[in-house]
Structure 1
């Protein structure tokens, strides 16, 4: 029987769609999903780790950061396909400068769970500053853990880094003037050169909220919340900035260039906005920040327009057991009963 031209066209189109479906299903799309969420345990009445992992999966959150290699969390993550940053506590840095201790740490906390748990980065210290007594142990611990990761045949999967904050910058405005401070440079420059040598990114905690509040009215709220309708800062290189997040990230890139690591990637290992504890810490502002941040990091920055920007929202839950200012306790996206504080789409 002779088929009509319309029937033939439909058959061809169906075949093409089938082929496209097969091709797409075979692609690894994890790289396109840039947003993760940090999972801290300093809150009262938090759900069991297994329930938290299910909450991540239910909301399409494909990346997580934890601040301690907690066995309950690691076991719950088995088979989840959630990519993971795992931290090394500041207090453990000195001990992990020893190669045998580092090898034991990697065996106990990584090798015992891999490949069922998809480790992505190890953050060797979080926001260690040059004046901290632990600062001298960060790079030696990174090197020991890197050697242990390589010996465990995990080097292709896991990158070893450390998480800094933007207080290490001296000048940061305009972004092209970004440079590490004179006090921070002797500490951070050898670290970034090590990262560049190993092909690992620098992890950075970026908080427009704190810059906004500390500016005492100099920084516009819309610039901090991604709601400015026009360019606020024009850099000397002609690049325009409509939001503070981009300006802070690009200041880090400028500082890395001056430190001799122009090709180093920045991963935003924390960013968030509190919902209580300060005049600017409101539910509306926090919702606006998180919603706009999630949408924004699908692209790049003026200095590095090739996106997405790998970013981890801080944090999954409020942490009312935390020390410090009241705002530190109110960065959560979900309540302990697993209900969302804000209506957000993570994927």
Structure 2
């Protein structure tokens, strides 16, 4: 087996780049989600961010361990007040004060908190917390005023693109009527009064995947294309992303809020998806994110706001293996949990010079199958279900290595992949060998409930199988 240290060294050399943003350019940050059980420690994550020159990160909470790790790192941080706390902070100023004291002033200024996202995509929250949003934003702001932090820390709330009633053509962009008076206008008033900006989550992938017969893939990925002329204002669009952002600008303009800026707090493209998730692939993810970074670093804005540089947070930092929903939800990361890049994209002006929107993978992931090495392209794996119990795992392992014909030589005592010496690790090796041997056919990763399929390369398997 090739040395893992050597592989990581090569990755580090390939990836030792920084996001260099001039004053005239927009900014690129990244979302650091943690819905996973296999991520590096916050301290290691901070080192990863710094090694890549990423100086802006957005969190989905105010976890003390993460905020402590980010202290004195030079990385600007946007934190979040979760939706479940909207009601209490909206109706009780002391609750807002306590939250700010426990989660903001305790860490600031050592940790460069620059924004608070009050809630996340509240309008589509099934618990119907919309009525609490603006009051919660106001109370959190009042708390910041008490500690004289209101000029340093902005308050906003990310809205999903689905808050729009109409988005095509962009010039006809409008908010859903039932949201305008109760929450959109009061929120935009608040943002205007406090000098803040509207946080928007925009995913062209969703629109493309649902309408691939009508939307050009090149248009969705910022690739060369003839463009789409907006019939309302005559502007020509060469990317779906810009069209979506201008639809939000148009929606704000329609209710007389032309002077509120936008920060795109989430955007990205999945590297793996289910069969019905058209367009989900490493190549397309690399093209979308790489071309978006190029657009942002160019300093140019959208056709409707050409002089306003774009500011975006890519989603996301890691593939998160515990996120519910379709396969794509667990595969938006730029990095695997072992800190390797899923694909290469340029993150500096220098890298952009020779970059083409075809991904160059940082490595070739390989899974040994019956003594062979096969290249992973949109692969799935079979892993042991640790909750199945020792008895069931042992029986399934015996079958896989016996009648099943799995290649289990490497996990015998003293063999190359015997360690880590655990039943679950060895069972995962055997189950995956059997699954790959059966060409990943349906039903070949069940073993009576002792195994399940994953679409993200498992860290444990990577350790076991490594590279031949």
TM-score, length of structure 2 as denominator length: 0.66
Helix, strand or coil for the counterpart of 2:162? helix
Do the aligned partners of 2:224 and 2:238 also contact (CA within 8 Å) in 1?
yes
Q: CA deviation at 1:114?
A: 1.1
Which residue of structure 2 lines up, in the alignment, with residue 209 of structure 1?
205
Structure 2 matches for 1:48-197, cutoff 5 A? 48-97=41-90, 98-129=92-123, 132=126, 133-186=128-181, 187-197=183-193
Which residue of structure 1 lines up, in the alignment, with residue 285 of structure 2?
286
TM-score, length of structure 1 as denominator length: 0.89
Which residue of structure 2 lines up, in the alignment, with residue 345 of structure 1?
346
Q: Does residue 36 in structure 1 map to residue 29 in structure 2?
A: yes
Q: CA deviation at 1:65?
A: 0.4
Helix, strand or coil for the counterpart of 1:300? coil
Task: Kindly tell me the number of residue pairs found equivalent between the two proteins.
Answer: 320
Partner Cα separation in structure 1 for residue 228 and residue 313 of structure 2: 25
Higher relative contact order (CA 8 A, sep 6+): 1
Which residue of structure 2 lines up, in the alignment, with residue 3 of structure 1?
none
- TM-align CA RMSD: 1.6
Q: CA deviation at 1:31?
A: 7.8
Which residue of structure 2 lines up, in the alignment, with residue 13 of structure 1?
none
Partner Cα separation in structure 2 for residue 214 and residue 193 of structure 1: 34
Partner Cα separation in structure 2 for residue 131 and residue 46 of structure 1: 27
Gap regions ≥5 residues in structure 1: 1-27
How big is each residue's C-alpha offset from its partner over 1:294-342, in whole Å with a ceiling of 9 and x where there is no partner? Answer: 1112321011112421100000001110111221111010011111111
Structure 2 matches for 1:234-313, cutoff 5 A? 234-277=230-273, 278-298=277-297, 299-313=300-314
Partner Cα separation in structure 2 for residue 130 and residue 342 of structure 1: 32
Do the aligned partners of 1:59 and 1:345 also contact (CA within 8 Å) in 2?
no
Larger Rg: 2
C-alpha change, 1:111 and 1:32, in structure 2 (3 Å) is farther
Which residue of structure 1 lines up, in the alignment, with residue 228 of structure 2?
232
Gap regions ≥5 residues in structure 2: 1-20, 349-468
Which residue of structure 1 lines up, in the alignment, with residue 466 of structure 2?
none
Which residue of structure 2 lines up, in the alignment, with residue 332 of structure 1?
333
Do the aligned partners of 2:163 and 2:175 also contact (CA within 8 Å) in 1?
yes
Deviating runs (4+, > 4 A) in structure 1? 28-33
Q: CA deviation at 1:30?
A: 7.1
Q: CA deviation at 1:130?
A: 6.4
Q: CA deviation at 1:206?
A: 0.6
Partner Cα separation in structure 1 for residue 25 and residue 243 of structure 2: 23
Partner Cα separation in structure 2 for residue 204 and residue 262 of structure 1: 16
Do the aligned partners of 1:297 and 1:307 also contact (CA within 8 Å) in 2?
no
Partner Cα separation in structure 2 for residue 243 and residue 62 of structure 1: 26
Q: CA deviation at 1:258?
A: 1.6
Q: CA deviation at 1:216?
A: 4.3
Helix, strand or coil for the counterpart of 1:284? helix
